[in-house]
């Protein structure tokens, strides 16, 4: 049986934060190349908005509210939003408000970069797209499966991502 964390170790918070911010930085670079300062600025503003939405519609319902969760957002959430009922964590309305924009934001640099490459090929942009794909998607899901979900108390209480990572229907 895997140990469920009351609070995640700082090393895991650092790893997940590094992966998140690195993927945002690479995504920002791609969008800056594609559309300049305007595209880059919109991307960063959307990322900040999404983090706030995540805290409001996920973290404020989570077991790790005001605690050191795997992403570090649980502790920050306590400063910005009031605690909500933990049993509503897996409410599909709350999940979709965050999940849909998260996936759209994650794929925005890829889509923009691929469209740009179709009109003006660039090896450096292609390299950034491959690096972004690895960092944001492959590494992001690997970290969630190997470090986050397997030791998460909220997962045991009720979480769709946890169930998906564990293969539970």
CA distances from 16 to 21, 51, 126, 157, 162 (A): 9, 14, 25, 22, 16
The domain ranges of the chain are: 10-164
To the nearest whole number, what is the mean pLDDT of the chain? 91
pTM across the whole model:
0.88
Alpha carbons 132 and 66: distance in angstroms, whole number: 31
Q: Identify the pLDDT of residue 165.
A: 61
Percentage of the chain beyond pLDDT 70 is 95
pLDDT of residue 129: 98
10-53 per-position pLDDT tens digit: 999 999 999 999 999 999 999 999 999 999 999 999 999 999 99
pLDDT digits (tens, 9 = 90+) for 77-109: 999 999 998 888 888 888 889 989 999 999 999
What pLDDT sits at residue 164?
A: 63
């Amino acid at each position: 049986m895997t140990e469920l964390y009351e609070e995640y170790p700082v090393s895991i918070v650092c790893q997940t934060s590094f992966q998140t911010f690195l993927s945002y930085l690479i995504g920002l670079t791609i969008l800056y190349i594609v559309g300049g300062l305007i595209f880059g600025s919109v991307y960063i503003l959307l990322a900040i908005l999404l983090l706030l939405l995540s805290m409001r519609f996920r973290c404020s319902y989570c077991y790790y509210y005001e605690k050191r969760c795997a992403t570090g957002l649980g502790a920050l959430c306590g400063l910005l939003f009031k605690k909500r009922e933990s049993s509503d964590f897996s409410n599909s309305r709350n999940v979709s408000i965050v999940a849909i924009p998260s996936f759209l934001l994650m794929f925005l640099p890829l889509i923009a970069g691929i469209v740009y490459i179709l009109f003006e090929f660039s090896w450096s942009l292609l390299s950034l797209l491959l690096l972004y794909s690895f960092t944001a998607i492959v590494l992001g899901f690997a970290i969630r499966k190997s470090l986050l979900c397997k030791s998460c108390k909220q997962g045991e209480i009720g979480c769709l991502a946890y169930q998906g990572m564990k293969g539970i229907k």
